[in-house]
Structures are given as structure tokens and as C-alpha cells.
Amino acid sequence: MPKWRDVLEKIENERDVYNKCSSNAKECPTRGVMAWQALLEGLEGAAPREQVSKINRFVNQWRYRPDSENYGRSDYWASPIEFIRRSGDCEDYAIMKYVSLRSVGFPVERLRMVVVQDTLRDLAHAVLAVYLDDDVVILDNLTNAVLSHDRVFQYVPYYSVNETTRWAHV
């Protein structure tokens, strides 16, 4: 999973920027990063379902932009600051949501970025799976709805990852 490892490294390298921005708005590289940090601070102590819903809606407001248009190549995995500056494609939304939920306190074992086959559109896609209460909900850049995994029929998972583990779905 070289792309996942690379993006985790970029996220770690950006962490100082997140922290500085959180403590001093003048340290934020963009208004988007400032808005993101304000959202995360506002969600501290909120119910997990509310955190999930608001983060999903916030991230989904960025316009979809394919990697070929954004970076001149296919399958580039963007860090949160890159995503905020340039927007991105499906895995970039999932990464942004993953980092956001980790920032508000979700433990790593409750989050998985999942690469799937979208059987309706006949293409590869990425979503974020969140273990919430007694359910697994899917956060998708195609909808602001937070759907239980048992209501999402068009996705067949290939693999999923988080910071500690990777899973092959066969």
C-alpha cells in the first residue's frame, strides 16, 4: 500500500500546520484550512453520530476534481491541505474524512478507508467506513447521507486500510 503509506507520511508532516492553525488563525495557510479547524474544534465533545454527519457534509462541499485534471496523472492520494487547496477525487474525500474523524477523537480501529467496485457506474471508488454504535456507516462523496452499510448495495469491496491494518476482501 505505497500510496496509503505516502499519504500517512504527508499527513504527519502537515500535523504541525494543523496544530498551529488550531491555536492561531493567522497561522492557517488558507481560509479552507481555517474553516476545517474551526469545524473540528466545534465538534469536540459532540455525539459521534453528529461528528460523522457534520464532517461528511463539510468535506462533500468541495467540488469533485479528477487526479488527471488536478495533478496531471492518475491515482494521486492527497493530504488534507492538498485537498482543501485543490479539491480531489473519491479517495481524497475519504482521506479527508478519515483525518477529520481521527482529529475529533475517533479511534483508528473504528475507521477504514475502503476501495470498492461501484457496480452501477462500473468503476473503482473509495469511501470511508465508520464503526458507529452497533453499525458500520458509509461516508461517500456522492451523498451527504450517512448510510448504514446494509443499505449500500452497489459497492463490492476490494480492500480497506487504516493506520495499523489492511484487509483484502475476497
Q: Are 40 and 23 in contact (CB under 8 A)?
A: no
User: Would you state the pLDDT for residue 65?
Assistant: 96
Strand order across the beta sheet in which 111-118 lies: 143-148, 135-140, 123-132, 111-118, 155-161, 166-168
Backbone angles phi, psi at 143, to 5 degrees: -155, 145
d(CA 122, CA 154): 10
User: Would you state the pLDDT for residue 136?
Assistant: 98
Q: Domain holding 31: CATH number?
A: 3.10.620.30
| Overall domain count for the chain | 1
d(CA 85, CA 11): 14
User: Would you state the pLDDT for residue 23?
Assistant: 87
3-state secondary structure of 127: strand
User: Would you state the pLDDT for residue 72?
Assistant: 94
Query: Could you tell me the residue range of the domain that residue 70 belongs to?
Result: 2-168
Burial (CB count within 10 angstroms: exposed 0-12, middle 13-18, buried 19+), residue 110: middle
Print pLDDT tens along the chain (170 aa).
Answer: 889 999 999 999 999 999 898 888 888 999 999 999 999 999 999 999 999 999 999 999 999 999 999 999 989 999 999 999 999 999 999 999 999 999 999 999 999 999 999 999 999 999 999 999 899 999 999 999 999 999 999 999 999 999 999 999 98
40: nearest Cα among 98, 1, 94: 98
3-state secondary structure of 7: helix
